[in-house]
Every structure is written in structure tokens, then in C-alpha cells.
Amino acid sequence: MLLSCQQPRERVTTPAFYHWQTRLELSPQEQSLVKELGVQRLYVKFFDVDWDPELQAPVPLAQVELAPESYSGLELAPTVFLTNRTLERLSGAEVPGLAGKIHDKIFSLAAQDSSLHIREVQMDCDWTATTREAYFELLGRLRGMLRERGVSLSATIRLHQARFPARTGVPPADRGILMFYNIGQLQQWEEPNSILNLEAAEPYLKGYEPYPLPLGLALPLFRWGVLFRDGEMIKLINNLTEERLAESPKFQALGPARYEVLEGTFLEGHYLYPGDRIRLEAVAPEQLFAAAERLRELPWPDTLEVVFYHLDGVAVSQYAPEVLDSLYKQLARE
């Protein structure tokens, strides 16, 4: 009786964005979107770390260039994408050194903007059972260094990792961001939408228990075309739109969001052969609302950061500010 008389607990949600390009220079439209949503934090990919086969060592790639005047007033959380193959090839003794290099590189890139005050750094890595040990060791080292500067460390968490923490391990970070996308079977032609497939996600959501780390939530705002050749998925073509294919006589619609190439042609820098097939994938607002409806039932922390992946022209053109506003607010109610 007592329980039934309690008010439903309010959850506070805040919006944020990922920025995944090599130059952080927000367009006026992007600035406007950020402002209208009341976004205060941008997770900015500062660089990637990949293994250089020539040097036989990890190297930083695609280092960010900052244009501070375009994002003034926003807090930046440097994000570093680390490839699994780097961890696979790295010896245990090299892990502390890499942690130090990542740490130093973040702050040297941040020096491009003298007004920058970093409070959080995020690591993004799709670790596996074989790379977990090295990755967690690296996170632990990095976290120690950041703590001395009063900076916290967060890590991206894939859905299966969030669902089975005992099996996959919990990264030694201060918090995590659950990446709720890339859920379906990308490689299968029959897949309806690998970016956001609630049916495929359901087994992971059923019986979901609170994650050992405080979690934020990342939702997808991107689109791509998945290119199949001879029955095999061979490429992703980013930001590919339906109009681009529908308007060309070189493509024939096979069904909703599915096309076949009729005549050899270059598309966004990729040469396509007759017989190639493309599945277009994007996330409609109603799909995002359905996901939010399902996700809000999960045991989130009282303060939930909803991070949209990612801020670019597509996000601006495809998602109205009021849609994104309702979306993150929808997750506020428990």
C-alpha cells in the first residue's frame, strides 16, 4: 500500500552530442541545434589509436583540429577511439607507455584551445575477451594519471557488455556510456536495420540489471548505405540518402530502402558494379522514440546523460530540435 502511494521517481536527463570529425568547427546550424537543446557537453573524438604495421607500434591518427570560436561555452570531453588490433599486438609491458602517450596527446591537442577546461576523458574500444586484460590495464593506468589532474574517465560500453558484465568484465572507469546502436546483423542482407533493431536488442534488455558503473546512454543519429557484392557485405557508405539513389537511373529500387545497381557507377567515391545491392539504413524519429520508450524502463542512474551520435549536417537536417528535445526528455520518466 505504501509503495503504491509513492510518487514515481523523476530521473534527470541531460542531452549531449558526440562529434566524430577531424575538425571541430561547428556550423551555424549545428551551433543552433546545440543551443536549442541546451547541450552543455560535446564528446569530441580527439584522435584514433591504431597499430602501424610499418612502425610495429601504436600511432595516433586523425588528430582533431579545434576551432574554439565555433563551440564557445561548451564543455569538451576528449574521446579516443582505440582499435582492438592495437591491443592484440601490444605486449603487456607496452601498455603503461601507451596510456601515458594517450594522456599526453589528449592534453597537447587540447592546448589548441587555451580556454579549455577538461573534466572528463572518454575511451572508446570494442574490447573482446582476448583484449580485455590489456584494455582494462590501460584504462586503469590512464585513470590514475587523469585523477591527478582531477579529470574523470569514462568508457563506452556495448549492449552485450552491459547485459553480461560478469562475463565481459567491467572497465575500470568512473562511468560508462551504453552505445545503443549497431545492434542488428549488419552482414545479412535480410537485416531490416542494423543501426537500431529493437527486436535484436530485446534479448539483451530482458532481465537487464543495473550496471556496476553509472551509465549514460548513446543514441544513433547517423545513416549509411550497406553495400553488398556477390552476396557479401563489403562496404559502408556513410550518409547515403534515399534521394541519391532514387533519382539516378543507375539504381533500381528492390523494396523499401533496398536498391540494385543496374549500371557501373561511382557513388561517394566507391565504384559499384551492376548487380551490387545497397540497403539504406537510417533511424527515423519514431524508431528513436520506440527505443526510448523501451529503454526508460531500465534501471538508469538518477541523472542520465543522453548522448546523440553524432553531431553533423545529417543530424541537423534530419532531426528537428524539438524531436531530440522530446526524445531525451522521454527518458526522464521512470
Q: Which residues bind another protein (CB under 8 A)?
A: 20, 48, 50, 52, 55, 57, 59-62, 81, 83, 101, 104-105, 108, 124, 126, 128-130, 156, 158-161, 168, 179, 182-187, 194, 204, 222, 224, 229-232, 234-236, 238, 264-266, 268-269, 271, 273
**Residue 109: all three cell numbers together:** 591537442
CB of 281 to another protein, least distance (A): 11
Phi-psi region of 38 (alpha: psi -120 to 50; beta: other; left: phi over 0): left
What's 322's DSSP letter? Answer: H
CB of 183 to another protein, least distance (A): 6
CB of 192 to another protein, least distance (A): 14
CB of 332 to another protein, least distance (A): 26
CB of 294 to another protein, least distance (A): 16
What CA–CA distance (Å, rounded) separates 332 from 328?
A: 7
Q: Closer CB to another protein, residue 274 or residue 299? A: 274
Q: Which residues pair with 134 in a beta bridge?
A: none
Q: Closer CB to another protein, residue 39 or residue 98? A: 98
Question: Percent helix, strand and coil across the chain, each rounded to 5?
Answer: 30, 30, 35
Q: Closer CB to another protein, residue 10 or residue 88? A: 88
**Residue 113: all three cell numbers together:** 584551445
Q: Closer CB to another protein, residue 61 or residue 320? A: 61
What CA–CA distance (Å, rounded) separates 304 from 243?
A: 36
b (16+ CB within 10 A) / e for 248-275: eebbeeeeebbbbbeeebebeeeebeee
CB of 234 to another protein, least distance (A): 4
Q: Which residues pair with 233 in a beta bridge?
A: 228
Q: Closer CB to another protein, residue 153 or residue 272? A: 272
